[in-house]
Structure 1
Amino acid sequence: MKNDIRMAAAQTVDQCDFNANLVQHGRFIEAAGREGVKLLVFPELSLTGYHRKQASAHSVEMTSPRLDALRRASASADVVAVAGVPLMVDGRLFIASLVVKPDGTMASYCKQHLHPGEDLFFHPGAEGAANLETMGVALAICADTNYPEHAAAASALGVDVYAASCLITNGGYDQDSAQLIAYAAKHAYAVLMANHGGPTGGFEAAGRSAIWDEKGNCVSAALGTGAQLVIAERSSGQWTGRVMRLPLE
Structure 2
Amino acid sequence: MKIAAAQIQPVKGNILKNIENHNILINAAVDHHVDMIIFPELSITGYEPELADQLSIHYEDSVLDIFQKTADENNINITVGMPTKYDDRLCISSIIFQPGRKREVYSKRNLFPTETSVFSKGDSFCQLEIIQNKISLAICYDLSDPLHSQEAHQIGSNIYTASVLNSVNGIDEDLIKLSNIAAKYHMHVVMANFIGESGGYECAGKSSVWSKNGTLLGQLNSENAGILILDTDNEQVEKMYIN
- State whether TM-score is above 0.5: yes
Question: In percent, how many aligned pairs have the same letter?
Answer: 31
Equivalent pairs, count:
240
Aligned-residue RMSD, C-alpha = 1.1
Q: Could you report, residue by residue, the CA deviation over 1:26-66 in whole angstroms, capped at 9, with x for unpaired residues?
A: 11111111101101000000000000011011111122110
CA distance in 2, matches of 1:104, 1:152: 28
5+ residue gaps, structure 1, are none
The equivalences for 1:139-150 within 5 A come to: 139-150=137-148
The equivalences for 1:117-132 within 5 A come to: 117-127=114-124, 129-132=125-128
The answer as to 2:9 corresponding to 1:13 is: yes
CA distance in 2, matches of 1:112, 1:226: 30
CA distance in 2, matches of 1:104, 1:196: 28
Match of 1:37 in 2: 34
CA distance in 2, matches of 1:37, 1:157: 25
Match of 2:134 in 1: 136
The equivalences for 1:162-201 within 5 A come to: 162-201=160-199
5+ residue gaps, structure 2, are none
The answer as to 2:48 corresponding to 1:48 is: no
Amino acid at match of 2:106: Y
Match of 2:74 in 1: 77
Question: Would the alpha carbon gap of residues 204 and 49 (structure 1) be closer, same or farther in structure 2, given more than 3 Å must change?
Answer: same
Aligned equivalent of 2:235, options 215, 233, 239: 239
Instruction: Write out the 4+ residue segments of structure 1 that deviate beyond 4 Å after TM superposition.
Output: none
Amino acid at match of 1:44: E
The answer as to 2:55 corresponding to 1:58 is: yes
CA distance in 2, matches of 1:185, 1:15: 35
**Taking structure 1 as the reference length, what is the TM-score of the superposition?**
0.93
CA distance in 2, matches of 1:74, 1:58: 24
How far off its partner does 1:104 sit?
5.0
